[in-house]
Amino acid sequence: MDWGIHLPHLGRQASREGLIRFAQKADGLGFHSGWVSDHVAWPRDITSKYPYTDDGSFPPPADMSWLDPIGTMFFVAGVTENLKLGPTVLVLGYRLPVVTAKAIASLDVLSGGRVILGVGVGWMREEFEVLGMPFDHRGKRADEQLELFLELFTRDHPSYDGTYYQVPEIGFEPKPAQAKVPVWVGGDTEPAYKRVVRYGDAFHAAFEPIENVARGWARIGELCEEAGRDRDELTLSVRLYLDPASQMPRRSPSPARPEQMLDTAGRWGDVGASHILLDPVTRGGVEGRIEAMEAFMDRVGSQAG
């Protein structure tokens, strides 16, 4: 099992010193990857329903500190050596695609090929409107962006002629350091599953019960078979809260005994997950989160593989 960790780039914990200390500690502990979340600015009053709370409310207040995700990854790349870096997930419709592609390619070069491109279509109409970006047909627009990224990242003289995006033949250098930047697709809908099969290297599920993830993964398997693709080519990644009391990834509280924690990790492995992104929510700011991930790696991560 590979373990990812969410970086402290939002809320009161977000600071230069905290990011350096946390990211370097994660790198030293052997975490596979460090992750950031993507929001830019949104109104105080929103009516869009957040997919990951029971009542559809979005918990963070509009005036909460939230460092730019791409900028944060650049910063962390400069203070770490091995930690892969990805957004969970980058909302493709928030940014113009060629500008996004330039940032991702540059980050991959400067990090030495450590980028994972986590992508999604977004859910908050109000934030799209604040950013002056279209909310309609965002799934189809996302598909075109992914096609355009591949063109820009791999072709000597890239161009693109889509329904929503048109790019004449241009120069686009440097290319990413990786021969292929891995694309990890988020979402829990049929279009998202199809996007995984068409464009993805992984299915990245966030804050979902294990039975929901298992159903989605099975559906992706069916779609792979229809498309003639081997699902074994894909990674299953899940994003879960790290319970500060038990040091265990959870959807709901888990027992604290190490053997039970290992059993929970094993059940995710049985579903097919080979990467778990831990989102530590604990008191004590950055230091509390560092203690949580140290305890996790000592009690669970090293034994669960």
Select from 274, 238, 244, 280 the least CA-distant residue to 22.
280
Residue 117 phi, psi (nearest 5):
-95, 90
Contact 271, 217 (CB under 8 A): yes
From residue 142, alpha-carbon distances to 37, 91, 134, 244, 256 in Å are 17, 9, 11, 36, 41
Q: What confidence score (pLDDT) does residue 255 get?
A: 37
Q: What confidence score (pLDDT) does residue 252 get?
A: 39
Q: What confidence score (pLDDT) does residue 189 get?
A: 97
Q: What confidence score (pLDDT) does residue 10 get?
A: 96
From residue 265, alpha-carbon distances to 29, 262, 303 in Å are 18, 5, 10
pLDDT digits (tens, 9 = 90+) for 245-273: 544 555 433 434 556 667 778 899 999 99
Q: What confidence score (pLDDT) does residue 251 get?
A: 47
DSSP at 175: P
| Tally of CB atoms within 10 A around 135 | 18
Q: Cis ω on the peptide bond leading into residue 69 (within 30° of 0)?
A: no
Asked if CATH classification 3.30.565.10 holds for the domain at 2-301, the reply, yes or no, is: no
From residue 272, alpha-carbon distances to 188, 193, 211, 213 in Å are 16, 15, 12, 10
84: β partners: 33
| Residue 25 one-letter amino acid | K
pLDDT digits (tens, 9 = 90+) for 150-204: 999 999 999 999 999 999 999 999 999 999 999 999 999 999 999 999 999 999 9
Query: pLDDT below 50 — which residues of the chain?
Result: 246-247, 251-256
Tokens coding 255: 């027992």
From residue 291, alpha-carbon distances to 6, 127, 305 in Å are 14, 34, 20
Select from 129, 102, 106, 118 the least CA-distant residue to 46.
129
Q: State pTM to two decimals.
A: 0.94
Element (H, E) at 6: strand 2-6
Q: How far apart are CA 224 and CA 211, in angstroms?
A: 20
Q: How far apart are CA 141 and CA 72, in angstroms?
A: 25
Select from 251, 253, 256, 231 the least CA-distant residue to 239.
251
Q: What confidence score (pLDDT) does residue 263 get?
A: 76
Residue extents of the structural domains in the chain: 2-301
From residue 38, alpha-carbon distances to 14, 120, 123, 204 in Å are 14, 10, 12, 15
Q: How far apart are CA 229 and CA 197, in angstroms?
A: 8
